Copies of this chain bind each other. A is one copy, B any other.
Amino acid sequence: MAREENPSDVIWGGRTDARRHRVVIVGGGFGGLYAARSLARSPTAVTLLDRRNFHLFQPLLYQVATGGLSPSNISSPLREVLRGKQRVRVLMGDVVDVDVAQRQVVLADGDTVAYDTLIVATGVSHDYFGNEAWRQNAPGLKTMEDALEMRRKVLYAFEAAERERDPTRRRAWLNFVVVGAGPTGVELAGALGELANDTLKHEFRAIDPADSQIILLEGGDRILPNFPADLSAKALKALERLGVTLRLQSYVTDVRPDAVTIETATREVIIPTRCVLWAAGVKASPLGQVLHRSAGAELDKIGRVSVNPDLTVPNHPEIIVIGDLANFSHQTGSPLPGVAPVAMQQGRYAAKRIRNQMRGRETAPFRYADKGTLATIGRSAAVADFGKLRFSGWLAWVLWLFIHLLFLIQFRNRVLVVFQWAWSYLTRNRSTRLIVEHRGSSDSNHP
């Protein structure tokens, strides 16, 4: 293959073999990381690009948001994870464009990285259904920054309530509204219930944190709509034991700093609150739009790329889209769910497809092997759906713990998480309840 020298191309430092098949992976989540690992021993030169320097274990992000775990417990530096893989390099960079003709991705600062095969795995972020202004008052939960902002907001609400003299305003500080009753919303609401009823007990003098109201809003007619109805009902009972109030068929029509407005079938309700947590709606990463513009990719209504049965972009066998950003509807007629196992399996499939292609072999279409779904609702409560087998309660919860530990990257993190879970279980306490400000350097009143 003839290759031109490109002066903007990010160098490998002379250690690369110019004849190797160059794979560029954009995004170091489950899809990208599993693709990179699976390619590590192939005769490829892999570049993993991410805006962050770490892989984030998103399924436990809600525990950071509610003070149970530290950011580093669920994050692994991508370089450290891939340290031993000499044929994989990690670059921190923000991909803003794909030059399909030149086969290179373009970074925000103008640098380029050339590929023979491109894997795009940049996922989704949360969406406010066109009401971007709500973002400021209702943080979502997709990035570490999101989780820290949620934690700050939740913990600060109790601090402000302790100091508030006016009973009406104090009530608003103690109302917590979670929007969306999918797994993230349910897990968040459950963790808030534990925080208010157990963790913060005896810590305040003017308020009782157990007077908090945790309100879970759902547009549909039950929580966990992707689970069977009987498991939804069991999860709801567990949530109610934690003091969570559910409002079904309720649509958010406005979010202000001190209240959220909802519309039900019959009326409009205003809930005074200083803490709205957003767990509803996703939209695809802007890389979907980039592929639409540059490679003619077709997007679904939330911006995901409709892929071929082999996960490539139609007419571009050299571009593969995996994970939450891909709309793969060939198996069930509807898109696969946006969960980690889909991304992992697609990451491994993409690697296999590249290896087969280099050997001139065909690859059978991708098929997702659904191993089941789990959701947890606080201490000792969870629901598990394995198709024929479904159960709830303590056993489901232990299974949830075990599976989450198993897929957590790095042994060190597993030990730290187990210790903190055991500690929280025994003491009903949470270890990482820090309100850290978002600013560059210190100011200087109370250093």
Q: Which residues on A are within 8 Å of B, measured CB to CB?
A: 10-13, 15-16, 26-27, 50-54, 70-73, 75, 77, 79-80, 83-84, 86, 89-96, 111, 122-126, 135-136, 139-140, 142-146, 148-149, 155-156, 159-160, 162-163, 165, 200, 202-207, 283, 285-287, 412-413, 415-416, 419-420, 423, 429, 431-447
Contact = CB atoms under 8 A, between A and B. Distances in A.
A139 to B, nearest CB: 5
Contacts of A11: 165, 206
Contact of A83 (B143, B202, B413, B438): B202
Given A93-B163, A415-B419, A429-B80, A435 B53 contact: yes
7 contacts: A72-B433, A83-B202, A90-B203, A91-B163, A142-B442, A145-B439, A438-B440
Given A79-B203, A285-B447, 20 more contacts: A10-B163, A16-B205, A53-B155, A70-B72, A70-B432, A72-B433, A79-B204, A86-B205, A90-B203, A91-B159, A96-B445, A111-B163, A124-B447, A126-B442, A136-B441, A285-B444, A412-B429, A412-B431, A413-B431, A416-B431
Contact of A207 (B13, B53, B86, B444): B13
B162 A432 contact: no
A319 to B, nearest CB: 17
B92 A441 contact: no
A445 B446 CA distance: 36
Contact of A442 (B143, B206, B419): B143
B433 A94 contact: no
Nearest to A79: B203
A202 B13 CA distance: 13
DSSP class of A's interface residues: helix, strand, loop or mixed? loop
In the complex, the count of this chain's copies comes to 2
A286 B444 CA distance: 7
Contacts of A126: 442
A144 B438 CA distance: 11
Contacts of A200: 79
Contacts of A143: 442, 447
Given A71-B434, A437-B145, A27 B286 contact: no
Contacts of A203: 77, 79-80, 83, 90
Nearest to A50: B446
A123 B445 CA distance: 9
Contacts of A125: 442-444, 447
B122 A446 contact: yes
A200 B142 CA distance: 28
A138 B159 CA distance: 32
Given A433-B77, A442-B142, A123 B447 contact: yes
A258 to B, nearest CB: 15
